[in-house]
Amino acid sequence: MHALAWLFLALSCCGPSSGYFSEERWSPESPLLAPRVLLALICRNSEHSLPYFLGTIEQLNYPKDRMALWVATDHNEDNTTDILREWLTKVQHLYHYVEWRPKEEPQFYDDEEDGPKQWTNQRYEHVMKLRQVALESAREMWADYFLLVDCDNLITNPDVLWKLMKENKTIVAPMLESRAAYSNFWCGMTSQGYYKRTPAYLPMRKQIRKGCFAVPMVHSTFLIDLRKEASRQLAFHPPHPEYSWAFDDIIVFAYSARMADVQMFVCNKETYGYFPVPLRSHNTLQDEADSFLHTVLEVNVRHPPVTPSKYLPTPVKRPDKMGFDEVFMINLKRRTDRRDRMLRTLQQQEIDCKVIAAVDGKAMNTSEVQALGIHMLPGYSDPYHGRPLTKGELGCFLSHYNIWKEIVERGLQTSLVIEDDLRFEVFFKRRLMNLMSEVEKEGLDWDLIYIGRKRMQIDHREKAVPNIHNLVEADYSYWTLGYMMSLQGAEKLLRAEPLSKVLPVDEFLPIMYNKHPVSDYMEQFENRDLKAFSAEPLLVYPTHYTGEDGYVSDTETSTVWDNDKVRTDWDRARAGKTGEQAEISTEAQNSDVLQSSLDSTARDEL
């Protein structure tokens, strides 16, 4: 009986890969190979984007020996062909198959009148034909999937291929982020095939509604499942025999999908990548390069930085001070993440700066404060919390104060001061240099020019400065994200002896240009003749607004300046201040200000 029990137990312990007799034993089944993917890249004048774009392709978490590359380039004025050739030469051994279709001449299309950013009928047709050849190549090599990615799209989610495949859709796109409302899908389409605004778009674009949604149009980056029978009817070219809409590559393909009874889908469950807002036909290749650079910078705000291809040489950067005598960047030593991001961002824009170690108010004790002869402005009370000055606000004030002292001591005629928690607007460097050029040309007498602020007085327009684009006379404002300071302006601020009556620096500055709403504060400063202006629209904005994920405030999360036992914090109850700090519009708030062409381009969205 015991022997039978032992035999039963031994047999019951045998797994599926074992047996009592040797001939019954087998090895477990191996996993399936990853589906075969053909990645199609069609690039034109992409020298500026290729190092970063190809870096994101390299970092896709997908076996490269299960991928084929189909790469075409033509009509280039820049070095696109050589860059692609160098990259393909170095990576071709990693991929299953590489097809390379370069064409050196011509550099332009015959019907291209406005420049290389113009989409003419010849260009539309040529691109559609190339995509069709790539699709047919994928079918001929029995690829399971066809992935199309434009050469300025940054796929920052390395698992995007697996995630899209999991959706089991014939055509599916990952929603891409941009600096505006623009994305790579439409929610509505008119009866003539044009874009149609719908109430569904913004909740999807802002990821208020998350999921995978049926839409009439996806473009720029999307995946086609070639295993689906209906995919055989899809075509980029020629247009469907019944097609009568505009001759446009994305509309032609959307119509093809409609006639094949294939629904397009877009997924916004996660952040998958970023891409630049398309420019207008009159824009230049330099405009395009600057716009793409801004896209790279935007990724860095909330995500790990985009790293360029390891197979291509790193482009040479030549930082300068943009015509200023000095560029100061304020950073707390313990905020190494902010310092690293800002230095990287400035380097990418070729801006040289001097890092100023911010005064850490939290580390100051009462005796240190007294030794500096610091006293709070009599009667000051925070307008939101009714509290006195915090140590964080005191440290912030002293950081700016020390810069004003250095400006005077070194005799710096013009300086730029920026904090470490800002994001730059598109075309930042050119717009700032253009502004300063006009200021100098007109001989404007100025002390302070904000480039980033929160405009507090909104009951009436600020006065536009004649003959200078994008400049207004500043009214009551918050924040010291970024500003230009002249030597005479710094001298005026120091003569006010502000350490004897300290209040937050962004309350002090409006007092000095006589625009503070509290007269009791202003009366304590005799000379209030600071000449203050502001860029309009602004050139920098906060990386995070109050209450957003990742928001940190070293000025508000602190203690009262003269009592370490009284702790302070930001508006976690989401009361008045958070409501007022909704995102600041990037459009000019003063409609009569002169606008430049770069600002018009910066506002394009859809």
pLDDT band at 550 (very low <50, low <70, confident <90, very high): low
As a whole number, mean pLDDT of residues 489-510 equals 96
Q: What is the tens place of the pLDDT at every residue in 244-294?
A: 999 999 999 999 999 999 999 999 999 999 999 999 999 999 999 999 999
As a whole number, mean pLDDT of residues 339-358 equals 97
pLDDT band at 101 (very low <50, low <70, confident <90, very high): very high
Amino acid at 187: C
Percent of the chain with pLDDT over 90: 76
Q: What is the tens place of the pLDDT at every residue in 407-434?
A: 999 999 999 999 999 999 999 999 999 9
Is 195 in contact with 187 (CB distance < 8 Å)? no
Among 176-190, 269-283, 323-337, 566-580, the least confident range: 566-580
Q: What is the tens place of the pLDDT at every residue in 420-477?
A: 999 999 999 999 999 999 999 999 999 999 999 999 877 788 999 999 999 999 999 9
Does the reported pTM lie above 0.75?
yes
Whole-Å CA distances, 11 to 4, 109, 145: 11, 76, 45
d(CA 49, CA 419): 28
d(CA 509, CA 522): 11
**Per the structure block, which two tokens stand in for 1?**
């009986």
Structure confidence at residue 2 (pLDDT): 57
As a whole number, mean pLDDT of residues 181-194 equals 96
Is 57 in contact with 39 (CB distance < 8 Å)? yes
As a whole number, mean pLDDT of residues 515-543 equals 95
pLDDT band at 572 (very low <50, low <70, confident <90, very high): very low
Structure confidence at residue 544 (pLDDT): 73
Structure confidence at residue 99 (pLDDT): 98
Q: What is the tens place of the pLDDT at every residue in 227-237?
A: 999 999 999 99
Structure confidence at residue 570 (pLDDT): 42
Angle at 138 between CA 137 and CA 140, to 5 degrees: 65
Tokens 């006195």 -> residue: 388
pLDDT band at 189 (very low <50, low <70, confident <90, very high): very high
Closest by CA position to 433, among listed 331, 560, 535: 535
Mean pLDDT, rounded, of the chain: 90
Among 20-24, 139-143, 162-166, the least confident range: 20-24
d(CA 599, CA 589): 13
Instruction: Answer whether residue 588 shows pLDDT above 70.
Output: no
d(CA 231, CA 261): 10
Where is 266: in which H helix or E strand?
A: strand 264-267
Give all domains of the chain, ordered by start, each with its CATH number: 37-289 (3.90.550.10), 316-602 (3.90.550)
